[in-house]
Structure 1
Amino acid sequence: METMEYNIQSNDAGQRIDKVLASFDDDWSRSQIQSWIKDGSVKVNGETVKTNYKVSEGDEVVITVPEPEELDAVPEPMDLDIYYEDQDVIVVNKPRGMVVHPAPGHPGGTLVNGLLYHCKDLSGINGVLRPGIVHRIDMDTSGLLMVAKNDMAHEKLVKQLQEKTVTRKYVAIVHGVIPHDVGTIDAPLGRDPKDRQRMTVVDNGRHAVTHFKVLERFTDYTFVECILETGRTHQIRVHMKYIGYPLAGDPKYGPRKTLDIDGQALHAQVLGFIHPRTEEYLEFKAPMPEELTRLLEFLRKSN
């Protein structure tokens, strides 16, 4: 079991404890938190509480998280779009709508379930629920991911991410017409104090840098390439909204009136890294999914 401690800050005071705790980790659902509270795995100031308990500033919350069951990540046969594979690394093109690893609410049908069936040997650094997972992309973002098949590869790939030497280029359709051809967004990201399910630009957030280049302009939209220097949660989605050009179709950060697409119009198109064993630079490019291609054709005809 894992024990975690939190001190409630002023911006969370007065909210239900299940809502506050669910915002602390993307993999915790509110229903999961509620079950932990009911079975006594959550204590506030040393005492058990009810799910409707409203937290106060300074409350000390201790969560004893039960060990995840291995059944949460069982092998499942699925048709994976694999771009590269050897004894150390797999590069896979994740489709839109697929979750990367099991979590409450998504126990199966994830990329990890398919990878476990496909190769049966993934690095164990991130535990039974995230074997081999070095980095993630959102459920409704398509594109390329690198996955480690052993701990040596995992450690070296993570180091490259930390040292910002991995090439990660995305393409996206955003609202509005960006007037300048290139730009850099350097703005720290953290939890939105008003809504902990969202990320936002905050002064004390984690360093985050996104470079962008305009590929094509339309009447009310722009097709852009975004290059990640860092890889924070929802980074491109939040950064583009921050400068006034939110992603089309984004249910969390974009406007309600948008293009006909289920989820953000974002695709991880190019992935490049140094192979952890051979030290050779490898780079891969995945074509845009049909939905994005269809939207671009629509915009060109409407221009």
Structure 2
Amino acid sequence: MEMVHIPVIYQDHYLLAVNKPAGLVIHPTYKHADGTMWDAILALLACQEQESWTPPRPPDKPEWAQAPLEVQAMLRQKMYERIDREEGLLPRPCLLHRLDKDTSGVVLLARTERSRRFLVKQFEERSIQKSYLAVVSQGAPEWTRPRTTCTVSISQNRELVPLEGSPDQVICQGCEFVIQGPLGRDPEDYRRCVVIEGGQDALTACTVLAVERGFALLNVHPITGRTHQIRAHLAAIGWAIVGDQLYATEQAKQLGLTRQFLHARSITVRHYPEKQERTFVAPLSLDLQDWLQREMPAGSRALE
């Protein structure tokens, strides 16, 4: 199988950020044993020259001074081994999060153990900021309707106010709103996720960037990270993502796209070892750029 090219957004000794193409499974499964993004990344790294990184060698600790020389040497060696193990490159990079097969955009991988732990903690604390671009149209299959409480709140004067009436009210340019509803697998079809009692808490923030021809371009921030969260939450309020072969209506599946209009545009993390915030941006893929220019020029202008 021919290896897919994976554009690199950023790479250093500690971190790798790539722009995943749509149509590519993240890692091998029983259905996709090879030809995945993971395979492409391993091939990419294998072709690179060995880096010249030198592990730090800090001075001996003051409390070692009274120990015999051979004990000092042993302690020093153990310290160096720990540093090499935690600061040296992992045998393989660690995938930190995932994207659906037909979603494109930025994906992060940790390259050292300390970087992995530092970033995983940020995911656990929900301090990482992720931004997606999505185009939606009105309508969703009946099965996507919430099976339990799903609230939509609108931002007014920097406060969230529960929306009264139809969620369609939020689809106007400049509107900021939040969807909250627990997500779990649909008992009738485990490929699907729905707002359902007993599901995992899920929170999705959205800003409407443009509205035209029955479409709305959204900037979406998933505050939690549940399976199919953005797709399921938007469908639950009656505005499924255009081109989504699972969550959209038959009409919305056939609007000139071969996959869903969902792109992981950026991710902001504190980067190890300096622990300063950095944002990694994945340019919008060409198929989505072309679709916007053709079907929703206002959306294309909103991104300029």
**Does 1:135 pair with 2:135?**
no
Q: Distance in 1 between matches of 2:39 and 2:249?
A: 33
Q: Distance in 1 between matches of 2:278 and 2:125?
A: 17
Aligned to 1:276: 272
Q: Distance in 2 between matches of 1:175 and 1:265?
A: 11
CA deviation vs aligned residue, 1:132-167 (integer Å, no higher than 9, x gap): 111000111000011011222222212111111111
Aligned to 2:10: 84
Equivalent pairs counted in the alignment come to: 224
Does the 8 Å CA contact 1:141/1:264 hold for their aligned counterparts? yes
Aligned to 2:141: none
Q: How much does 1:279 deviate? A: 0.5
Letter in 2 for 1:231: G
**Does 1:160 pair with 2:122?**
yes
Q: How much does 1:77 deviate? A: 5.5
Q: Distance in 2 between matches of 1:232 and 1:187?
A: 11
Q: Distance in 1 between matches of 2:276 and 2:134?
A: 29
Aligned to 1:194: 188
Q: Distance in 2 between matches of 1:132 and 1:251?
A: 30
Q: How much does 1:78 deviate? A: 4.7
Matches within 5 A, 1:80-119: 80-119=6-45
Does the 8 Å CA contact 1:142/1:268 hold for their aligned counterparts? yes
Matches within 5 A, 1:196-211: 196-211=190-205
**Does 1:245 pair with 2:239?**
yes
Q: Secondary structure at the match of 2:220?
A: strand
**Does 1:179 pair with 2:172?**
yes
Q: Distance in 2 between matches of 1:295 and 1:115?
A: 28
Q: Answer with 1 or 2: which has the greater Rg.
A: 2
Q: How much does 1:301 deviate? A: 5.8
Q: 1:281 to 1:102 in 2, by over 3 A?
A: same
Give the RMSD, CA atoms, in angstroms.
2.3
Matches within 5 A, 1:211-226: 211-226=205-220
Letter in 2 for 1:219: R
Does the 8 Å CA contact 2:205/2:223 hold for their aligned counterparts? yes
Q: How much does 1:122 deviate? A: 6.8
Does the 8 Å CA contact 2:213/2:296 hold for their aligned counterparts? no
Q: Distance in 1 between matches of 2:89 and 2:37?
A: 12
Does the 8 Å CA contact 2:94/2:116 hold for their aligned counterparts? yes
Q: Secondary structure at the match of 2:275?
A: coil
**Does 1:149 pair with 2:92?**
no
Unaligned runs of at least 5 residues, structure 2: 47-87, 139-167, 300-304
Aligned to 2:142: none
Aligned to 1:34: none
Higher relative CO (Cα under 8 Å, sequence separation at least 6) belongs to 2
Higher helix residue share: 2
Q: 1:149 to 1:302 in 2, by over 3 A?
A: closer
CA deviation vs aligned residue, 1:239-275 (integer Å, no higher than 9, x gap): 1001110000101111111221112110000111001
- Equivalent pairs: percent with the same residue? 33
Q: How much does 1:119 deviate? A: 2.4
Q: Secondary structure at the match of 1:108?
A: coil
Give the TM-score, by structure 1 length: 0.69
Q: 1:90 to 1:235 in 2, by over 3 A?
A: same
Give the TM-score, by structure 2 length: 0.69
Q: Distance in 2 between matches of 1:300 and 1:156?
A: 40
Q: How much does 1:206 deviate? A: 0.9
Letter in 1 for 2:95: I
Q: Secondary structure at the match of 2:40?
A: helix
Q: Distance in 2 between matches of 1:247 and 1:118?
A: 32
